[in-house]
Amino acid sequence: MNIIVDTARLVEELDRLAGYSDAPAPAVTRVVFSETDRRAREYVKGLCAAAGLAVREDAAGNTFARWAGREPSLPAVATGSHIDAIPHAGRYDGTVGVLGGLEAIRALQRAGREPRRSIELAIFSAEEPTRFGIGCFGSRLLAGALDASAGERLRDKEGRTLDQWRTAAGFAGDLASMRLPVGHYAAFVELHIEQGPLLERAGIPLGVVTAIAAPATWRITVEGEGGHAGALLMRDRRDAFCAAAEIALAVERAALGTGVADTVGTVGVCDVFPGAVNSVPSRVRLEVDVRDIDGARRDGVLARIRQACDETAARRGVTVKAEVINADAPAECDPLVVEALARAAAVHQLPFEKMVSRAYHDSLFLARIAPTAMLFIPCRGGVSHRPDEFAAPEAIASGVLVLAEALAELAG
C-alpha cells in the first residue's frame, strides 16, 4: 500500500497542541517543567499510546515512544524533536518534528510497512534555553555533552536547580543513567521547519540538511563608574553602556569580517544597571551568540571579539569580563542518512535542495551518538520564534511523507 499522510488530522493536532500555552493565541509560550508543559506532554503521550506505541520517560523528561519492529533487539531508527516553546513563539518550531514524526509512524502502520528495526519517536526536553539558559539539555544529557553535575549546576533566574524542577515535575532517577551509547540508534532523522527564507524563495518544497551550525555563547560583563547624569562631566565618564555598545558593534563587525554567509553573530541580551534615565550606567551584561558550520572560523570570530573587549576596556577605562557559557562543535550529517532522505524525496517526485542548518537543534547532539540528518520544510517568510510563524499544511504533509519513506528504508 502507498504511504498516505492524514494532513487534516495532523494540522488539527498541531492546533490543539498550540492551545497548551501560557500566552494567548496565536502566540505560544510553553516552558519546560511548567504546568502547561506537563499538560502538553500528557496530550502527546496520549496520541502515542493511541497509536500503539510503547511510551517511556527518562530522568530529565525526555520521552520515547516505540513502534516495535520484527527484530526488536536491533538498534532502532529514531525521529523526533521538541515541544517546548520560548515566550511568545509560534506553533510549528519543534512540534512539526514531533507530531509529524508520529504521523509518519501512523502512515507506515496504515500502509502495512512493518519495519525490521523498531522506529522510535523521541520528544526531547528543553531544546529551548528559556528555563536554564542552555539549549538542548535533554539531548545533551543523552549524548554525554552534559554530565550529572548539571542537575545542581543548571539554575533558573531565581536560583532553582534542574534537579529541583525535574523532581517537582515528576521525573526521578540519576541523570548519569540517561546517557546513550554510540550505536544505540541505527539512524536519527529530525523533521523541522527551516526557520529561514531560502526554501520559500527558491520555491523548493524540501531541504536535506548536510551540516548543522553550532553556537558559542558568551556572557560579557562591563564594569564602569556610575553617577548623576547631570553632575558627572563627559570628560570624566567611564560609561559602561557606551563601552558595551562598542563591543556589540565589534560582534557584528567580526561576523561580517569572515565574508561567509554561514557566520552569524548576535548580541541578544543587554542588561543595564541601574537602568535609570538620569543615571550613568555603571554595569552592563551582554549575552553574545556566534555560530558557524566551521568551528575554526567561528573561533576566529570569538578571538576578534575578545580582542575588541580588551581594546575597549583599555581605551574607555572600564573592566570587561568575558565568560564562556558554552561552545559546541558543529556537526556533519551522515552521508548515508542524507542519501536515504534524497531517495525518499525522489520516490515521491518532490524536489529538494541540500543545505545547512544555521539554527542548531537536538540533532546536533544526536549526531555524536548516531548517524543523523535533518529534513527541512519551508516556513512563510522564514519567520520563526514569533506568533506569525507558519508552515502550510501541504508543506508539512510533504515533509512527513518523505520522512516516512526514509524511516521505512532505514528501518529495513
Is the pLDDT confidence value at 377 over 80?
yes
Cell output for 63: 520521552
The pLDDT-based confidence of 103 (bands split at 50, 70, 90) is very high
Query: Residues 123-157: pLDDT tens digits?
Result: 999 999 999 988 999 999 999 999 999 999 999 98
Give 225's DSSP letter. Answer: B
Q: Do the beta carbons of residue 392 and residue 183 sit within 8 Å? A: no
CA distance 17 to 22: 12
Distance of CA 198 to the CA centre of its chain: 19
What's the average model confidence in pLDDT over 282-287?
98
Q: Is the pLDDT of residue 370 over 90?
A: yes
Going by C-beta distance under 8 Å and a sequence separation of 6 or more, which residues neighbour residue 62?
A: 122, 123, 124, 125, 138, 139, 141, 142, 178
Residue-by-residue DSSP string for 316-377 = HT-EEEEEEEEEPPPEEPPHHHHHHHHHHHHHTT--EEEEEESS--THHHHTTTS-EEEEEE
**Measured distance CA(4)–CA(168) in Å, rounded:** 41
* CA 39/CA 342 separation, integer angstroms: 36
User: What's the pLDDT band for 310 if we cut at 50, 70, 90?
Assistant: very high
Which option is the CATH number for 7-213+330-411: 3.30.300.30, 3.40.190.10, 3.40.630.10, 3.30.420.40? 3.40.630.10
What is the Cα 199 distance to its own chain's centre? 19
Gap between the Cα atoms of 238 and 160, Å rounded:
35
Residue 224 DSSP label: -
Q: Where does residue 197 fall: left (phi above 0), alpha (psi -120 to 50 degrees), or beta otherwise?
A: alpha
Percentage of residues of the chain with pLDDT beyond 90: 97
Q: For helices 7-18 and 35-50, what crossing angle results, to 10°?
A: 160
Tell me how far CA of residue 81 lies from CA of 97, 165, 207, 216, 365, in angstroms: 5, 21, 17, 21, 12
Residue 55 pLDDT exceeds 80: yes
Distance of alpha carbon 231 from alpha carbon 400, whole angstroms: 64
| Average pLDDT estimate for 238-265 | 97
pLDDT at 318: 98
Q: Are 111 and 2 in contact (CB under 8 A)?
A: yes
In sequence order, the β-bridge partners of residue 319 are 223
Residue 162 above 80 pLDDT? yes
pLDDT at position 274 over 80:
yes
What is the predicted pLDDT for the residue at 133? 85
- At residue 260's C-alpha, the angle toward residues 258 and 264, to 5°, is 80
**Given strand 264-273, what is the order of strands in its sheet?**
264-273, 283-292, 214-223, 319-327
Q: What is the pLDDT of residue 406?
A: 98
Instruction: Dump pLDDT digits (tens) for 1-50.
Output: 799 999 999 999 999 999 999 999 999 999 999 999 999 999 999 999 99
**170 class by beta-carbon count within 10 Å (0-12 exposed, 13-18 middle, 19+ buried):** exposed
First and final CA of the chain: distance in angstroms? 16
pLDDT at 290: 97
The predicted-structure confidence for 188-243, as pLDDT tens digits, reads as follows 999 999 999 999 999 999 999 999 998 899 999 999 999 999 999 999 999 999 99
Q: Has residue 68 got a pLDDT over 80? A: yes
pLDDT of amino acid 288: 97
Mean pLDDT estimate for the chain: 97
Buried b (16+ CB within 10 A) or exposed e, 112-133: ebebebbbbbbbbbbbbbbbbb
Rounded CA-CA distance 412/406 in Å is 10
- Domain 215-327 = CATH 3.40.50.20: no
What residue ranges do the domains of the chain occupy? 7-213+330-411, 215-327
pLDDT above 80 for 305: yes
How do residues 323-345 score in pLDDT, each as one tens digit? 998 899 999 999 999 999 999 99
Contact 248, 296 (CB under 8 A): no
Q: What are the pLDDT digits (tens) for 348-366?
A: 999 999 999 999 999 999 9
**Whether the Cβ atoms of residue 289 and residue 265 lie closer than 8 Å to each other:** yes
Residue 383 contacts residue 389 (beta carbons within 8 Å):
yes
| Closest by CA position to 121, among listed 134, 140, 135, 108 | 108
